[in-house]
């Protein structure tokens, strides 16, 4: 079974994902939408009486949630885990990378660096804002996160859901063009993946955010900032000026009475706790760090 099958049949082109990350790394700031979703993800964690000592900000650069995360957990040691060396260089260039950040060297898969092993089992929270929909093998990443947090550790994430850019997909279908987006994973499937990975009490919800733009050019510019189309069945090669003009005209035809063009983004939010190991006959191996965490842990927050 390949990564796409494990991801519920959703397919991503690894080369296109890499290209999107490279484009985002060259931008001065992360997308506005990512910052707004990070704020909403932090709000969902506010009712929880969780005060982690160490937080892994998974895909910190493209995720764009550093500010919201720091505001939510001002006393925590926040470790930025980046997709690859380009994002680490970006941190250094902007003097944003603290001395304790891990992640030297090239990632073997998107949103994974080898030095995350340095905090194996010793983080209390993995935070992943708006990066999961660009991961080739989400179940494998959930399993990875399970190993990085201690018992009762928390994973919290946000990502795009299936309703994202439905209007744009309808437009492309009407024009007889390939889909402009890859498939996105349903939040219920994400919950199942959390459980399989060993997380307990998964909670998932979703909301639809509608963005509007003054014209089609502005719309396309912001969509480009968000990454790109990583669907394997997308258009092959470059588009012509004639094709672009047709697209602009089709988008313009969707404008409301005030001239603005709107598109919807479905955002899924999820979190789950690492459950303690259960003994069901036979022996269970428990790390020393996990044993210490089980001895001193308070009641799980609700």
Quick: pLDDT tens for 194-224. Answer: 999 999 999 999 999 999 999 999 999 999 9
pLDDT band for position 6 (cuts 50, 70, 90): low
- Domain membership flag for residue 260: no
Q: What is the mean pLDDT of residues 20-25?
A: 86
Instruction: Judge residue 225's burial from the number of C-beta atoms within 10 Å of its C-beta, 0-12 exposed, 13-18 middle, 19 or more buried.
Output: middle
Number of domains in the chain: 1
Task: Provide the CATH number for the domain around residue 136.
Answer: 3.40.50.150
Q: In this structure, what token pair is assigned to residue 19?
A: 């290209």
Q: 272: which strand partners?
A: 155
C-alpha span between 170 and 190 (Å, rounded):
25
Torsion over CA: 6, 195, 143, 163 (sign): positive
Of 25-29, 63-67, 278-282, the range with the lowest mean pLDDT is 278-282
Bigger pLDDT: 254 vs 291: 254
* Percent of all residues in the chain with a pLDDT value above 70, rounded to a whole number: 78
**Alpha-carbon distances, residue 237 vs 16, 172, 240, 245, 279 (angstroms):** 12, 17, 10, 17, 55
Give the list of residues 6+ apart from residue 302 with CB closer than 8 angstroms, or none. Answer: 48
pLDDT at 237: 73
- Domain membership flag for residue 192: yes
On the CB side of 64, how many CA atoms lie within 13 Å of its CA?
24
Q: In this structure, what token pair is assigned to residue 170?
A: 């309808």
Q: What is the mean pLDDT of residues 8-19?
A: 80
- Domain membership flag for residue 255: no
C-alpha span between 187 and 301 (Å, rounded):
23
Residue 295 has pLDDT above 90, yes or no: no
- Domain membership flag for residue 201: yes
- Domain membership flag for residue 298: no
pLDDT at 293: 45
Q: Could you list the residue range(s) of the whole structural domain that residue 10 is in?
A: 3-165+184-208+267-293
Residue 98 has pLDDT above 50, yes or no: no
Bigger pLDDT: 101 vs 59: 59
- Domain membership flag for residue 256: no
Residue 42 has pLDDT above 60, yes or no: yes
CB 230 within 8 A of CB 4: no
- Domain membership flag for residue 196: yes
Provide the pairing of β-strand 261-274 with 123-129: unpaired
* E-state strands within 119-240: 123-129, 149-160, 199-213
């Amino acid at each position: 079974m390949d990564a796409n099958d494990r991801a519920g049949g959703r397919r991503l082109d690894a080369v296109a994902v890499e290209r999107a990350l490279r484009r985002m790394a060259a931008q001065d700031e992360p997308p506005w939408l990512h910052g707004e979703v990070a704020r909403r993800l932090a709000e969902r964690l506010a009712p929880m009486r969780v005060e982690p000592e160490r937080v892994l900000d998974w895909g910190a650069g493209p995720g764009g949630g550093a500010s919201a995360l720091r505001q939510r957990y001002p006393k925590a040691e926040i470790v930025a885990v980046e997709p690859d060396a380009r994002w680490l260089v970006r941190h250094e260039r902007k003097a944003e990378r603290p001395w304790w950040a891990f992640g030297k060297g090239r990632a073997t898969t998107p949103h994974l660096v080898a030095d995350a092993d340095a905090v194996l089992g010793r983080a209390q929270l993995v935070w992943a804002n708006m990066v999961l929909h660009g991961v080739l093998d989400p179940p494998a990443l959930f399993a990875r996160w399970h190993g990085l947090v201690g018992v009762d550790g928390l994973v919290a994430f946000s990502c795009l859901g299936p309703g994202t850019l439905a209007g744009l997909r309808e437009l492309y279908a009407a024009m007889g063009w390939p889909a402009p987006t890859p498939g996105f994973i349903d939040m219920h499937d994400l919950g199942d993946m959390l459980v399989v990975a060993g997380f307990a009490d998964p909670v998932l919800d979703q909301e639809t955010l509608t963005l509007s733009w003054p014209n089609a050019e502005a719309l396309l510019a912001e969509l480009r900032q968000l990454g790109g189309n990583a669907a394997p069945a997308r258009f092959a090669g470059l588009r012509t000026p004639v094709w672009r003009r047709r697209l602009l005209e089709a988008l313009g035809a969707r404008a409301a009475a005030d001239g603005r063009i709107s598109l919807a983004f479905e955002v899924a939010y999820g979190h789950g706790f690492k459950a303690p190991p259960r003994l069901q006959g036979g022996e269970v191996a428990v790390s020393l760090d996990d044993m210490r965490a089980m001895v001193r842990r308070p009641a799980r927050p609700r």
